[in-house]
Amino acid sequence: MIWLSLRIGGESGFNSEAGCTILSMIRNWDVQVQEQVGERTEAGNKMGKWREESGQHRMGAEHTKDVTYICPFVGALRGILTVTNYRLFFRCINREPAFLLDLPLGVISKVDKIGGASSRGDVSYGLVCKDMRNLRFVYKPPEDSLQKSAFDVLTKFAFPNSNNLPLFAFEYDQVFPENGWKVYDALAEYKRQGLPNESWRISKVNDHYELCDSYPASLVVPVTITDEELRRVAAFRAKGRIPVLSWIHPESQAAVVRSSQPMSGVSGKRCKEDEKLLQAIMDANAQSHKLFIFDARPSVNAAANKMKGGGCESEDAYQNAELVFLDIHNIHVMRESLRKLREVVYPNIEDSHWLSNLESTHWLEHIKLILAGALRMADKVESGRTSVVVHCSDGWDRTAQLTSLTMIMLDAHYRTVTGFQTLIDKEWVSFGHRFQQRVGHGDQNHTDADRSPIFLQFIDCVWQMTQQFPAAFEFNEYFLITVLDHLYSCLFGTFLCNSEQQRVREELSKRTVSLWSLVNSQLEEFVNPLYVHYSSHVLLPSVSIRHLQLWLTYYIRWNPRMRPQEPVHQRYKELLAKRAELQKRVEELQRDVANRASVSSERAGSPTRSITPVQTFV
């Protein structure tokens, strides 16, 4: 069955406090700050049960009094600034109700000293954050030049990689009831898909990451292709990222296959093993005698890559294959688009030019192109029963966006909480999306050209789909925001490093905690009360720009004037409780009906006394 969206629903609300990084479960929470605050935030209440160990192994906190936070919404606020090895915490001392600001240091992208000291001797610092915020503080530096200020400590721990320090994830050892590192098992996921089978095998040619250091150890390839042929294909594909299966249709056997660009160059170099591999991918699907190759790039970019030795598949060389360009721009264009969006949404929104300013960022246009590309792929697999191969240049950015979204559209399993976790671990983490480079964990090089909001765009696309199909996803909006918050926080090991090989070498599953440990230990916080499970539903979202909207509860959540009046997260929980109550009542009624039917059946089958009709005469 296919769900087709024709019209998107209205904007959903969300409590911005609930969207903030969870406060209370972090070990290095400063004891003095706890005494000063005297109350828990909404997010802190959620995680209170894991707060007991918060003071263990905490590195010394640096407190700076008489700091002024220049808040863009309420003006200058004086207070106490505390910096630990994980977070910045500011509490206003002259305002009621108390003003609290909490910021994981991993969220900081840049620390700027703004100008020199003022006539009063004050120094101003600006913090550029990865979650759309820009913060500014003013304080008087200590008279003793040898005494470190909170901002010296902040710079040190915000960029640990640049200061020969470990990321905080390697210090954090909170134990949760659930172990998130056990969520994804490659062989178990392929088994769920019915693999291996008569057409596809699981190759161990990359078992030690020698074939491709950015690919996982287990790769699914056609049975007719030998490991030696795969090695020759790897020499022809950029970064050795050969075409391998991501997902297979349970009925038609049409496959979603990912790779990097072929290194054909300006001379149009060919590789017979690569051509044989793509032919084998097509032959593995008996439903179709055609193969679609989706190149995520604009055609002009693909042509330009030929000058660097790259390129795209020639339809002359790849028989029965059709090449389609999806016109999705590169990481540099996406980074610039997000920069423009930041300027539009933070700190203040200019109502009179809101639509034109938003349009000038081209953010929603990029979201549209990504969704449209995934939709075309899903349609070819589902309706056309045709296998598809997708790549960009290196196959770890736009390719991951497209395979993931296509799989969400086609497979309801990936719309569950654990299924979505599996999808991220598989298509993003194990297949080598370069999280370290794209996010810049612990690195103070703010202008690094490798940074780009690729994963943010993917989550935005998923959110767009949840708005069009509000009952199709088991997880709620808070779950998506939590994932993004911890993409930057460096609290968990889930998004660290650039490849599976690096993660194995760093022993992340032993030395760090998985984000899924947190999520799966309190699933009730992340479940969508409207969710209805249909295992065979295919989603075909509308990708018209008219049906897309800016994700206000993420991009503008820091603006207090944009907060919804109703605490939506609390409403989610109330709906879940009501749903459980109604389900229990339905089950009781079903048992009652079954019992009555059983009694009626017994009576109908038991022997009855014969009654002689009595004739009455008047």
Whether 230 is covered by a domain: the verdict is yes
**146 domain-assigned:** yes
Q: Is residue 594 one of the residues assigned to a domain?
A: no
Q: Which residues pair with residue 81 across a beta bridge?
A: 64, 90
Q: What is the pLDDT of residue 262?
A: 98
Helices (H), 396-514: 398-410, 417-423, 435, 454-468, 477-489, 500-505, 508-511
Q: Last residue of some domain: 148, 170, 192?
A: 170
The answer to whether residues 418 and 468 belong to one domain is yes
Q: Are 496 and 435 in contact (CB under 8 A)?
A: yes
Q: Are 202 and 196 in contact (CB under 8 A)?
A: yes
Residue 12 lies in a domain: no
527 shares a domain with 382 = yes
Same domain, 314 and 365: yes
Q: Which of 92, 392, 490, 497 is catalytic?
A: 392
Number of folded domains that form the chain: 2
pLDDT in tens, 201-231: 999 999 999 999 999 999 999 999 999 999 9
Q: Which of 86, 40, 213 is nearest to 492 (CA)?
A: 86
Looking at residue 346, its pLDDT comes to 92
- Nearest by Cα to 424 from 300, 60, 416: 416
396 labeled part of a ligand binding site: yes
> How far is 391 from 419, CA to CA, in rounded Å?
23
Question: What are phi and psi for residue 108, nearest 5 degrees?
Answer: -75, 130
**Residue 248, annotated as binding a ligand:** no
Residue 607 has pLDDT above 60, yes or no: no
What would you measure as the largest C-alpha separation in the chain, in angstroms? 125
The answer to whether 306 is a known ligand-binding residue is yes
**Which of 525, 553, 569 represents a domain boundary (last residue)?**
569
**371 and 541 in contact (C-beta within 8 Å)?**
yes
Is 271 among the residues known to form the active site? no
Whether pLDDT at 268 is above 50? yes
Question: How many C-beta atoms lie closer than 10 Å to residue 518's C-beta?
Answer: 24
**Residue 136 forms beta bridges with which residues?**
126
For residue 335, say whether it is annotated as part of any ligand binding site. Answer: no
Q: Are 344 and 336 a contacting pair, CB within 8 Å?
A: no
Q: Say if residue 305 carries a ligand binding annotation.
A: yes
* Mean pLDDT along residues 405-411: 99
Q: How many residues does the chain have?
A: 618
Q: Give domain status of residue 109, yes or no.
A: yes
Q: Model-level pTM?
A: 0.86
- Do 189 and 104 share a domain, yes or no? no
Residue with tokens 């048992």: 591
How large a percentage of the chain has pLDDT more than 90? 71
- Give the other-Cβ count within 10 Å of 581's Cβ: 10
- Annotation-wise, does 197 bind a ligand? no
Q: Which residues contact 337 (CB under 8 A, 6 or more apart)?
A: 361, 362, 363, 366
Q: What angle do CA 6, 10, 16 make, to 5 degrees?
A: 135
Residue 143 confidence (pLDDT): 66
Same domain, 146 and 193: no
3 domain residue, yes or no:
no
Q: Are 52 and 193 within one domain?
A: no
Find the CATH number of the domain harbouring 116.
2.30.29.30
Please tell me the predicted confidence (pLDDT) of residue 65.
80
Q: Does residue 244 share a domain with residue 104?
A: no
392 is in an annotated binding site: yes
Last residue of a domain, one of 569, 588, 606: 569
Considering the domain boundaries, does residue 616 fall inside one? no
Residues 156 and 283 in one domain: no
10 annotated among ligand-binding-site residues = no
Q: Are residues 164 and 214 in the same domain?
A: no
For 93-151, write each residue's pLDDT tens digit. 788 788 899 999 999 999 998 866 555 668 899 999 999 999 999 988 776 555 567 88
559 is in an annotated binding site: no
Euclidean distance between CA atoms 448 and 394, whole angstroms? 18
Same structural domain, 359 and 477: yes
Same domain, 166 and 184: no
- Same-domain check for residues 252 and 223: yes
Residue 340 lies in a domain: yes
Q: Which domain does 157 fall in, by range?
A: 26-170
- Reported as a single tens digit per residue, the pLDDT across 540-550 is 999 999 999 99
